[in-house]
Amino acid sequence: MTGKERRQQLLDVARELFAEKGFDATSIEEIAHRAGVSKPVVYEHFGGKEGIYAVVVDREMQRLLDNVVSALGAGGGNPRDLLEAAARALLNYIEGSSDGFRIMVRDSPVASSTGTFSSLLNDIASQVEHILGLHFDARGYDAKLAALYAQALVGMVALTGQWWLEVRKPKKDEVAAHLVNLAWNGLSAMENKPRLRTRR
């Protein structure tokens, strides 16, 4: 096995173990054993458990971000189509890469401002914010509020995705349709300057 092939094998084994058991319950010994190598081989490639975990998380985050950004880019100019594209992209990722999604949504000791699921959602929200800002401006809404709405939409889809990961009912397209229904019907009747009806 070449060094590149060995590195990929170790990443595949570690990804499987982290998804199955979590960061804390996975050991370098277990990764090495399952890969059929000695512990020093894992240390040589990644420096330790934190190193291999960081690479696994980074790859999953990039895969999901690429999927969502690609879907937004191909979604056309219609805001509802963009919302559908984003919801389906996240649910497609969850369905096709359940292990990766499980790893990303867990807390980890190597989490940093650039290595957490929260930071990934912020990256996706930035893409959505840009698109919303253009539509807000064109419709007379305050474009400065696009960031708030982007966070709300991305958060709604992501949390629903976490729930759906475990229950897998209803079917993916039905979940996406309900997400779009809630978000779109709320957005389509959005007030220009909303106010709370009751104040204490």
CB atoms within 10 A of CB 78: 11
> Does the pLDDT of residue 176 top 80, yes or no?
yes
> Does the pLDDT of residue 2 top 80, yes or no?
yes
What local confidence, expressed as pLDDT, does residue 131 receive? 80
> Does the pLDDT of residue 109 top 60, yes or no?
no
What local confidence, expressed as pLDDT, does residue 130 receive? 84
Spatial contact of 180 and 80, defined as CB atoms under 8 Å apart? yes
What local confidence, expressed as pLDDT, does residue 84 receive? 86
Torsion of CA 25, 29, 35, 40, to 10 degrees: 140
Spatial contact of 91 and 164, defined as CB atoms under 8 Å apart? yes
Which stretches within 22-116 are classed as H helix?
28-35, 39-46, 49-74, 79-96, 98-105
User: Cα–Cα distances in Å, from 37 out to 4, 129, 158?
Assistant: 15, 46, 37
How much is the pTM?
Answer: 0.77
Residue range 130-174, pLDDT digits in tens: 888 887 888 788 889 989 988 888 889 888 998 998 898 999 999
What local confidence, expressed as pLDDT, does residue 4 receive? 94
Which residues, including other chains, have CB under 8 Å from residue 196's CB and lie 6 or more apart?
none
For range 20-37, the mean pLDDT? 95
Using pLDDT thresholds of 50, 70 and 90, give the confidence band for residue 115. low
Helix (H) or strand (E) holding 7: helix 3-21
Structure tokens at 174: 């039905």
Structure tokens at 129: 């914010």
What local confidence, expressed as pLDDT, does residue 107 receive? 52
Which residues, including other chains, have CB under 8 Å from residue 79's CB and lie 6 or more apart?
131, 132, 135, 187
Q: Domains in the chain, please, with CATH?
A: 57-189 (1.10.357.10)
Residue range 123-133, pLDDT digits in tens: 888 888 888 88
Nearest one of 127, 53, 129 to 89, comparing CA atoms: 127
DSSP state of 142: -
> Does the pLDDT of residue 77 top 70, yes or no?
no
What local confidence, expressed as pLDDT, does residue 28 receive? 97
> Does the pLDDT of residue 108 top 60, yes or no?
no
